[in-house]
A and B are shown apart, each in its own frame.
Chain A
Amino acid sequence: APFFMLPLSANFFHWIYKNGISNGGLYKRPFNEHFEQAPMYVAVFTYLGFGVGTLFGYLRDFMRAWGLEKCHLATEREEQKDFVPLYQDFENFYTRNLYMRIRDNWNRPICSVPGPQFDLMERVTDDFNWTFRFTGRCIKDVINMGSYNYLGFAETDANALKTVADVLQRYGTGVCSTRQEMGNIDKHVELENLVARFLDVEAAMVFGMGFATNSMNIPALVGKGCLILSDELNHTSLVLGARLSGATIRVFKHNNMQSLEKLLRDAIAHGQPRSHRAWKKILILVEGIYSMEGSIVRLPEIVTLKKKYKAYLYLDEAHSIGAVGPTGRGVVEYFGMDPDDVDVLMGTFTKSFGAAGGYIAGKKELVDFLRTHSHSATYATSMCPPVAEQIIRAMKCVMGLDGTTQGLQRVCQLSENTRYFRQRLHEMGFIVYGNDDSPVVPLLLYMPGKIGAFARRMLDKNIGVVVVGFPATPIGESRARFCVSAAHTREMLDTVLNALDELGDFLHLKYSRHSRSSHPELYNETSFELED
């Protein structure tokens, strides 16, 4: 019988019987991740497609340079033509010639709350995506498979937003100051205590912007003479923070514990590059769920390594807080571990709580240090009160403090939706990356022609998806990224899955070689004999 149809404990014993216990039993539950490789001809055709695009790009650049075609872009002035060229690197070439052609699939303006369904403004282009104009029409009720709305808190229900409206009346919208000057509002203190209680740690501090939380606080924690070990596929905010800090950065392969251990051993054995002194601090930067791959960090192994080699761990739970774990407390709860094992817990409120901002949580000494030394606290405007109230009400809902079980229902609904969606996609034969429990579902498209075709045809069927290509992903692995939400009903998911089935056949996207039948109705047959 298929693996997920067995009850949970039988699942677990079945898994142990098949796979044995690895890592001495560190994992209390099965850890299933798939990164299937496509057949070789797919890679060949992908590079062929990029080759054709590049050739035509050179042709168009030639025509623009010799005045045979009007140039819509920024170019240098006549007097500057003898200087070092500004726009000749590959990234600009790629933007001019490949991204522009399919640009209508990104930056689509929406005109409603990004809930499970939303309204889009219709845009047309007369000159192949160089300029757009609005027709004035609004495409209504497009199913939203792209927003990070994991628990469905992006809603406009007046009852749910009552406290937020009250706070808006009382405090207004602007804070007009930084945290250390006059911007420390009692809502922030209330929110920080709530976050600390939610995560079961000593203290927490909140910031106005999630990206700035990473990029402005890592420089406060590490400096020159420290070592940062960062995962290959870390988010730009972590990379920026690491570079700004001035510490030495070494990269280990994505979620690969052997690579991390090798780097740790080398660091401790050899010390700093020329002087061979011991490193002042070793900080491991990982994320809870990686948003482009859908993979979950191997936290038990990392914590074991960090304890053995006496390093510090910085866990960025931007996508995983609220989205994984039996009660939505993130990857620490998902693996059944103690939050004290992670030195710095960071997360954002943008994804699961329907607000904006980020937090850093951990021991009280750490948070008190950050209150004085963080760049964000000193220079950036603090979080505005209505947003803080939205987070407070969402977090109280998830914790059950508002007296209902709605929060827990949302978390359970999200995990059920995730399991169902991933299982159906696997059955249909698509290549889907990531862990079975992560609500971020990347579906691989590979070829550049299919990126534009997929997004446009899904919009024609009234489903909004996010497609990603180079440079956010490796050049041969462009994908469509679905974000499952607790607000999606079974009917919406079925609509999306049927559309995907049809589109997968039309665009020939079902590359998986492990798939079972694409028509699961056969499993309900009572007999497979031919009718006479």
Chain B
Amino acid sequence: MDIKHAKDYLYWLYFQYLLITCCYVLEPWEQSMFHTIFITVFAMVVYTGYVFVPIHIHLAFEFFSQIFGGQHESTVAIMN
């Protein structure tokens, strides 16, 4: 029963994606083309986020803590 609910919910999510991006009205080959492009772009966004976001947050944290607290911080300590 739980599996059926989960499958129904996933199908509902997939259907919402089709409606929102107007893929519902496209022919099957156009839908495949759109899915490919969309998944590629989404994968690139996720990868970029994974590579760059933690480093940027860490640097920003260091920058702001330098302003408020530590004059003792040396510039050598940043690169780890």
Contacts and interface: CB of A to CB of B under 8 A. Distances in A.
Interface of A: 45, 48-50, 52-53, 56, 59, 98, 101-102, 128, 447-450, 452-453, 506-508
Given A453-B19, A506-B12, A508-B16, A52 B24 contact: no
Contacts of B47: none
Contacts of A449: 18-25
Contact of A52 (B15, B16, B34): B34
Given A101-B26, A506-B12, A52 B21 contact: yes
A56 B33 CA distance: 10
B25 A452 contact: yes
A484 B31 CA distance: 37
A51 to B, nearest CB: 8
A45 B26 contact: no
A448 B27 contact: no
Contacts of A507: 19
Interface of A is mostly: helix
Nearest to A42: B20
B19 A447 contact: yes
Contacts of A49: 20-22
Closest 7 CB pairs of A and B: A49-B22, A449-B19, A449-B24, A101-B25, A449-B22, A52-B22, A45-B20
Interface string B7-51: 000001001101111111111001000100000000000000000
B22 A53 contact: yes
Most A CB within 10 A of own CB, among B15, B16, B19, B34 = B19
Contacts of A453: 19, 24
A369 B18 CA distance: 58
Nearest to B19: A449
A52 B26 CA distance: 10
Contacts of B15: 506
Contacts of A447: 19-20, 22
Given A56-B26, A449-B24, A506-B12, 5 more contacts: A56-B30, A447-B19, A450-B19, A508-B16, A508-B19
A50 B27 CA distance: 16
A48 B21 contact: yes
A45 B18 CA distance: 11
A56 B22 CA distance: 10
9 contacts: A49-B20, A49-B22, A59-B30, A98-B25, A101-B25, A449-B21, A449-B22, A449-B25, A452-B25
A101 B27 CA distance: 8
B24 A452 contact: yes
Contacts of B25: 53, 98, 101-102, 448-449, 452
A386 B65 CA distance: 89
B29 to A, nearest CB: 11
Contacts of A102: 25
A231 B19 CA distance: 34
Contacts of B20: 45, 48-49, 447, 449
A450 B30 CA distance: 18
Most A CB within 10 A of own CB, among B16, B20, B21, B23 = B20
A4 to B, nearest CB: 33
A382 B45 CA distance: 68
Contacts of B12: 506
Nearest to A51: B22
Contacts of B23: 52, 449
Contacts of A53: 22, 25
A507 B18 CA distance: 11
A56 B29 CA distance: 11
Nearest to B31: A56
B38 to A, nearest CB: 10
A200 to B, nearest CB: 50
A280 B15 CA distance: 59
A50 B25 CA distance: 11
